[in-house]
Structure 1
């Protein structure tokens, strides 16, 4: 099955379910992780962040000594060809899956012989974008920690509380060997492997959480569907300039959930979905201030929570 078909089937899967974990999405725009293009000499020259990653990696391996500018130049193509020749690859100056894999092989940790016993209990995941570490918890206790790559500053990883809603193997070269899809309502995000293993520990992705392939393969076997995933990090406040009501989704809803929690009203998971728990939290606020008990975040509720711009 081609990657494009898998992506389409994933969108259909998302749209097929309602409720806490399987809510419909407003616009499932895939993150740019979906693209893993072939890099080659062109006129005008190719440019982009993936080329900058290539330059940095070849510079680390002492093949490239030119500027780190994200442009696929003749000098960079020569460095690629030198690397390919020394690593018994086809020498064509182009960077595709085989060359990326060889570049990754320099830093890929060796897989251990020991197989880890699966955890028993409630499993949750926390991704700390400050330390760039994914922690697997069982019944609230640390089971294992993994290094990860997170979204770069221009394409931040989605801070919030999500759930794993799909598991798949071999989505495509850019995704490594495993994919764990998250129910972020404004795009396709997930936890996956990588063919650029040296990016682990950096802010280098288009928003997804990258892991070493051996680590994501282990995690894939340990976590079931509906596992909760909390992503911790900086998220700029959002001003809400329209009333909100049950069934809506997006950053405005997440800000509503945040501000309810700030005043001590539990609104459930910070998942950007105006579900039953968020509606109940709004009703609690309405009751405290003797407002109409309808569970709708109208202008009265928004002003009480200091949400309007």
Structure 2
């Protein structure tokens, strides 16, 4: 087990965003029954997992800053470039008063309120970004469906997440990066959706054989190094 943040500086998050810019956001599947507003929006959201904050940005200027609670160590938040694809109110219970859904392809993630405001600023969620109800209610009125959301942070989605072997069934940003590299090598023709499925496994086998790596059908630390995803 390795801690990526003992090995690499925080600038890895910036590199992560640069890599993900190369992935077409348009190719990511949108949550069912939701239509994205394709018109250009005038605002943008930037979430920083390290600093546990979300910024509302317009024309390069930060208009508002709010504290958030990102994912816990076993349920880290996604990292990358997404869009708001749904807006809903009245979810209640642990989701607070408002919900802003994101088009993360491997699961249902969003920005929402909470009935435990004392946990804001801590890594406690199941991967979503919790906000105080009064803050999400303000943000809800300011961002339309289609708003771009840039999530910056450690490649694993949590500052203390140790490296884990990726196997069939694994999900997340790291899987999506592996799929993107395999696709660029001409070994994977599926969707880069962050889900380690059978097609991904077959592509991993081809990559390992082609590069004379141990054929494990899995992605280990050595494989990530060879792919150039980590240094």
TM-score normalised over the length of structure 1? 0.43
Residues 135 and 143 in structure 1, CA contact (< 8 A), matched pair in contact too: yes
Question: Deviation of residue 259 (structure 1)?
Answer: 10
Q: Does 1:252 align with 2:172?
A: no
Q: Structure 1's 272 and 223: CA in aligned 2 closer, same or farther, altered over 3 A? A: farther
Q: Structure 1's 125 and 308: CA in aligned 2 closer, same or farther, altered over 3 A? A: closer
Paired residue for 2:76? 156
- Output aligned runs, 1:118-133, within 5 Å: 122-133=42-53
Q: Does 1:23 align with 2:29?
A: yes
Residues 193 and 213 in structure 1, CA contact (< 8 A), matched pair in contact too: yes
Paired residue for 2:93? 173
Aligned length: 158
Q: 2:117, 2:127 → 1: CA distance?
A: 16
Deviation per CA, 1:105-147: give whole Å up to 9, x if none. xxxxxxxxxxxxxxx9631111111111101111222111001
Deviation per CA, 1:175-225: give whole Å up to 9, x if none. 000000111111111000000010111111111100111110111111111
Paired residue for 1:225? 145
- What SS class does the counterpart of residue 26 from structure 2 fall into? coil
Residues 22 and 165 in structure 1, CA contact (< 8 A), matched pair in contact too: no
Paired residue for 1:205? 125
List alignment gaps of at least 5 residues for structure 1. Answer: 1-18, 26-119, 242-248, 261-270, 275-295
Q: 1:256, 1:232 → 2: CA distance?
A: 20
Over alpha carbons, which structure has the higher Rg?
1
- What SS class does the counterpart of residue 150 from structure 1 fall into? coil
Question: Deviation of residue 234 (structure 1)?
Answer: 1.3
Q: Does 1:215 align with 2:135?
A: yes
Question: Deviation of residue 250 (structure 1)?
Answer: 6.8
Question: Deviation of residue 173 (structure 1)?
Answer: 1.1
Q: 1:240, 1:149 → 2: CA distance?
A: 26
4+ runs deviating over 6 angstroms:
237-241
Q: 1:180, 1:21 → 2: CA distance?
A: 20
Q: Structure 1's 121 and 159: CA in aligned 2 closer, same or farther, altered over 3 A? A: closer
Paired residue for 2:67? 147
Question: Deviation of residue 166 (structure 1)?
Answer: 0.6
- Output aligned runs, 1:46-57, within 5 Å: none
Q: 2:51, 2:119 → 1: CA distance?
A: 14
List alignment gaps of at least 5 residues for structure 2. Answer: 1-24, 32-39, 157-162, 184-190, 195-202, 212-224
Q: Structure 1's 24 and 218: CA in aligned 2 closer, same or farther, altered over 3 A? A: closer
Q: 2:73, 2:62 → 1: CA distance?
A: 28
